[in-house]
Amino acid sequence: MRTLRFRLIVSHLLPILLVTPLVVAALYYIVQSQLLIASVRSELTTQATLLAQLAYSDPRVFTDTTRARSFIDGISPYLTSQIMVMTPDGLVMAASEKTPNTTLDNLITVEEFEQVQKGKIVAKTTVRQGSVEEMADVFVPVLSANGELLGVVRSTYAYSGLDDRLARVRQLVWIVLAGGLGLGAVLGLLLAWQINKPLAGVTRAVTSLTRGDKLAALPEKGPQEIRQLESAFNDLVERLQSLEAARRQLLANLVHELGRPLGALRSAITALRHGAVEEPALRSELLAGMDETSGRLQRLLDELASLHDQVLGSLELHPQPVDLKDWLPLQLAAYRESAEQKGLKWELEISPDLPQVQIDSDRMAQAVQNLVLNAIQFSPAGERVQVKAFEEAGKVVISIKDHGPGIPQSEQEQVWKPFFRGVNRGRFPQGMGLGLGIARDIVQAHGGEIELESEVGRGSEFRIKIAK
C-alpha cells in the first residue's frame, strides 16, 4: 500500500469486490424468486391446460384407471413435469410418479379444491411429503360442454430442477465479475502508469535540482493537478535560474564597481606616501577625491543592503507621522549642492498645504534620494533638475524630473530590475543598476506606487504617489 500505483489499482478493484457480491446476491434472489419461479409456474399452467384439453377429448381417463395410466404413460416422456389425473372427488386415477396415497391429502386444501371444482385453475407451492423439497403445483379442472366437472389434471414441478438453470446464471455472473475485475485492474494499472510517470519525472527533476545538476523545465502535460505541480516546479526553476543569473551579475558588478574606487583610493594613498602630502593643493585635491570615492562606496553598500532585504522579503518599516514641507528640504540639501556643483539648475517646489503622511522617514528618504541622484547623474550641465511635492486626487505626489537622454519605451519596464543596463549605456554610466528597483520596493512597501514618463532626448519624470 506504499506505492501510488498499487493504491490506484486497489481503488479500481475495491468497489467491484465490495459492490459486485451484493449485486450478485440481489440478482440471484430476483432471478430465483421472481423470474424463474414465475416462469416455471407460467410454463406449468400452460402444460396443465394443454393436458386438460387432451383429457377432455377422452373423458374415460377420469373413470378408468387403465385409460388413465395409458394417458399418463403416453404423455409423460415428453414433459419435464410430473402429471396426475384425478376424479372430480379428488381420487387419483394415475400419476407419472409413485404417490404415497391415492387422495389429495397434503396436496391441496379443501377450500382450494372447491375452487377447482368450480372451474378455476389453482397454482400453489407445496412441500413434498416426507421431505423439505418445494414443488410447484397447478390444478386444472376439465369441464364438459355443459359445465359439468369431468375431472382434474395436476401438473407438478420440483424446484430442485431449477438448479441447473441457476448454476448457468451463477456461472455467467462469475464470468462477468472476473471480466470486470480484470478490466478494472488493467484500467487501474494504465491510469496509475499515466499518473506515476509524470510524478516520477518531477521526482527525478527535484533530485537533480538538489544535486546541483543543470536546471531544465518540465513539459506540462497530464491531469490538471499534475500540470499544476509541473508548472510550480518550472516556476521554481525559472526563479532559481533568475537568482543564479543575478548572483553572477552581482559578482561581476561587485568586481567592477569595487575595483575602480579601491584602485583610485590606493593611487591616492600611494601619491600621499610619496610626497603629495607636502603639497597643500594636491593633498586637498586627493583628499576630496578620496572622500567622494568613499561616499560612492557607502552608497554601493547601502544598495547592497537594500537588495539583501529585497531578496529575503524582510523590508521592515517603522512608519510615523511626517510633515513633508519640513522633511523633504532636509533630505535634499546635500543633493542640491551636488547638482549646483555639476552646473545644473536646481528647482524645488513644495505645496504649502501638504498634509502629514505616515511613512518610515529613513526608508522613504532612501527612495527619494535614489531618484534625485539618478536625475542629477543623467542631466547634462546647464539643464534643470526639478523636484515638486503636491497633492493630487487624494494622494501626495513627489515628482523628480530630469532633462537627460530619456529611456526608450521598450526599456521602461526593465529599469526596475536589478543590474539592468539599457541599450543606451550612457544612461547608466555608474552604479550597479539597483537604485530604481530599491526605490520602487520601498514605495510599494508603503502602499504607494511609482510612475515613470520618459521620452528619448527629452528626459524622464518619476512620480512617487502615497496615500494620505
The pLDDT tens digits for 45-104 are 888 888 888 888 888 999 999 999 999 998 888 887 889 998 998 888 998 875 444 455
Strand runs (DSSP E) across 74-121, as ranges?
82-86, 92-95
Q: How far apart are CA 361 and CA 324, in angstroms?
A: 10
In whole angstroms, how far apart are CA 107 and each of 84, 91, 111, 238? 12, 12, 12, 90
Q: Is the whole-model pTM more than 0.85?
A: no
Each domain of the chain, given as residue ranges in start order, spans: 4-165, 224-311, 316-467
pLDDT for residue 348: 92
Q: How far apart are CA 299 and CA 376, in angstroms?
A: 15
Q: How far apart are CA 117 and CA 112, in angstroms?
A: 9
Please, which pLDDT band fits residue 428 given cuts at 50, 70 and 90?
very low
Q: How far apart are CA 184 and CA 181, in angstroms?
A: 5
pLDDT for residue 165: 64
Q: 519640513: which residue's cell? A: 326
Q: How far apart are CA 252 and CA 108, in angstroms?
A: 110
pLDDT for residue 427: 42
Q: How far apart are CA 370 and CA 378, in angstroms?
A: 12
- Which range, 185-189, 320-324, 374-378, is most confident? 320-324
* Tens digits of residue pLDDT in 380-393: 888 999 999 999 98
Q: DSSP letter string over 324-382?
A: HHHHHHHHHHHHHHHHHHTTPEEEEEE-TTPPEEEE-HHHHHHHHHHHHHHHHHHSPTT
| Residue 216: HSE in the Cβ half-sphere, 13 Å Cα cutoff | 10
- Report domain 4-165's class: alpha beta
pLDDT for residue 100: 45
| DSSP designation for 77 | G
Q: Work out the average pLDDT over 245-254.
A: 67
Q: Work out the average pLDDT over 12-25.
A: 69
Give the CA dihedral 410, 416, 420, 423, nearest 10 degrees. Answer: 30
Q: How far apart are CA 425 and CA 94, in angstroms?
A: 123
Better-scored residue on pLDDT, 260 or 291: 291
Q: What is the CATH number of domain 224-311?
A: 1.10.287.130
Q: Work out the average pLDDT over 356-385.
A: 88
Selection from 106, 75, 112, 78 nearest residue 92 by Cα = 106
Mean pLDDT of the chain: 78
pLDDT for residue 16: 67
CB neighbour list of residue 55: distance below 8 Å, 6 or more residues apart: 61, 62, 71, 85, 142, 150, 151, 153
pLDDT for residue 141: 93
Please state, for a pLDDT cut of 90, what percent of the chain lies above it: 13
Q: Could you tell me which residues are beta bridge partners of residue 391? A: 396
pLDDT for residue 259: 65
Please, which pLDDT band fits residue 305 given cuts at 50, 70 and 90?
low
Fold of 316-467: Heat Shock Protein 90 (3.30.565)
Q: Evaluate whether 91 touches 104 at the Cβ level (below 8 Å).
A: no
